[in-house]
Structure 1
Amino acid sequence: MSAQPVEPGEGADALIPQPAMTREALREAVRHIRPLNLAQYDRELGEAFDQAVRTGSIGWMRTFLIKWAMFVAVERRPARAAALRVAEQVADDPSSSDEQVLDAQREIAGILAAAEKEIGLG
């Protein structure tokens, strides 16, 4: 699997390096870190391809690649993935205080910003 360069000191907690943003590299990464999501990956790839053909726009494929690159960027780091799930639960919990929800939203935004940076969007 080809990977993006890793900055010195980064990546020690990563299960795998961040793969290139190609369908093959991302599929291999999903297979490695979250194999139960492969069927969803394949289904969404087919849907994106069909939409791209139907509309004549590659935007569908780009959106697909970005979505799954973000998924891999989060899930390849177990602590990051766990923190995202906890923050999402707090943000969605009706019993959470406004302060807890804001803290959770900041945590989610930080995690997603770090993932965007890793895939070259941030």
Structure 2
Amino acid sequence: MTAQQVEDGDRPLIPQPAMTREALRDAVRRIDMPSLAALDKECHEAFDRAAETGAINPLRFFLIKWATHVAIHRWPARAATLREAERIAGDPASTEQQFQDAMATSSRILAEAQREIGL
């Protein structure tokens, strides 16, 4: 687990879990239940790809993706900021500056989350 931080007065819903399938599944179940089916589907797909190829990379990529997801969503303000940045970036009515700002915000949030998981 990583040290908890305070982000804009926000508190994490849960501590950052270990980067294991079960710990991440439990975390997603607790903080982002609508994504649980996607996690399960991607877990099975990663396992199948690893079995087919004999490589562990599909499993590692799965764990990194979902650990990052949890690192973002355990902080409600961080998750809301990312959703808003994604909305702005995908809005054809956004100006170029709004798009650039939204992309910078998304990149910052992803970098913060990846630092939290040790990447």
TM-score range normalised by the length of the shorter chain:
over 0.9
Q: Compute the RMSD of aligned alpha carbons.
A: 1.1
Larger RCO (CA under 8 A, 6+ residues apart): 2
Structure 1 position 81, deviation (Å): 0.3
Q: Which runs of 4+ in 1 moved over 2 A?
A: none
Q: For residues 78-97 of structure 1, what are the structure 2 equivalents within 5 Å?
A: 78-97=76-95
Identity %: 54
TM-score (norm 2): 0.93
Q: Where in structure 2 are there 5+ consecutive unaligned residues?
A: none
1:63 corresponds to? 61
Structure 1 position 36, deviation (Å): 1.9
Task: Give SS of 1:96's match.
Answer: coil
Is 1:53 aligned to 2:51, yes or no?
yes
1:6 to 3, 8, 12: 3
Is 1:99 aligned to 2:97, yes or no?
yes
2:18 corresponds to? 20
1:37 corresponds to? 35
Query: For this pair of structures, how many residues does the alignment match?
Result: 116
Letter in 2 for 1:6: A
Structure 1 position 89, deviation (Å): 0.7
TM-score (norm 1): 0.91
